[in-house]
Amino acid sequence: MPKFAANLSFLFTDAPFPARFARAAAAGFAGVEYLFPYDFPAGDVAEWLQAARLEQVLFNLAPGDWAAGERGLSCLPQRRGEFAESVEQALDYAMALDCRHLHCMAGLRPEGFDEAFLEETYIANLRYAADRLATVGATLMIEPINSRIDMPGYWLDDVNKAFRLQKAVDRSNLKVQYDVYHADVIGDDLAGRLTENIAQIGHIQIADSPGRHEPGSGNINFPRLFDMLDQLGYDAWVGCEYRPATTTEDGLAWLSRAARSISQSL
């Protein structure tokens, strides 16, 4: 069975952020991820991780002004300097939290620039970030996110485009973050994609589709998906980035079922 990380930006949100670490550990998670840690000193976050005996699996580079609707900087030609600063900030947190996977959001499509220039900017920024992360043994992640429902205007909204740009960047520590919910909304062939591209995928996230709730609430066959990941030899983390239909704990029956399934197969 894959190893699952709780996304604390989506799960246990009835509690303040610092309290979610202990809640995740009590629910049986060994790792956590979240969108951004930057509202808190890195030392405080490290203490919460240590107290709960959790591994920091993933977080995102700063996306610009999230509250104002910004969703990343890396495709924006006019924000190159700010992007470089976000890389250094993320590196500081990564070292403090012993986190070796960082997601770089592309951003919303800006007006007034042609596609070729946006790709050129994106590739240059990713090469810079990947090279900086390589100095601490970290991997940079890029994720195709659907622009139809969840993030209108998001520039990297195509799975094929993500894999093509990963190849163009040509850095061994750049991987694709494959969110099966976003991929399903986009219309990707989940089984085919995983089978063909598992070596290029460095992190997987899950939510059912439609609805973006816990596994078992929609149309994705998660038992088959988890079996496939085992068969493909995927040994990285699977982030639980879904919105619980009720409470987080009430929605964790899928995790218990997955654990029972694997124990019965041993």
Q: What residues are annotated to the active site?
A: 143, 241
pLDDT tens digits for 99-131? Answer: 999 999 999 999 999 999 999 999 999 999 999
pLDDT of the residue at 261: 58
Q: With respect to CATH, is domain 3-265 assigned 3.20.20.150?
A: yes
Backbone angles phi, psi at 132, to 5 degrees: -70, -40
As a whole number of angstroms, the distance between CA 226 and CA 176 comes to: 18
pLDDT of residue 258: 75
Number of Cα atoms under 13 Å in the Cβ half of residue 208: 16
pTM above 0.85, yes or no: yes
Residue 259 has pLDDT above 70, yes or no: no
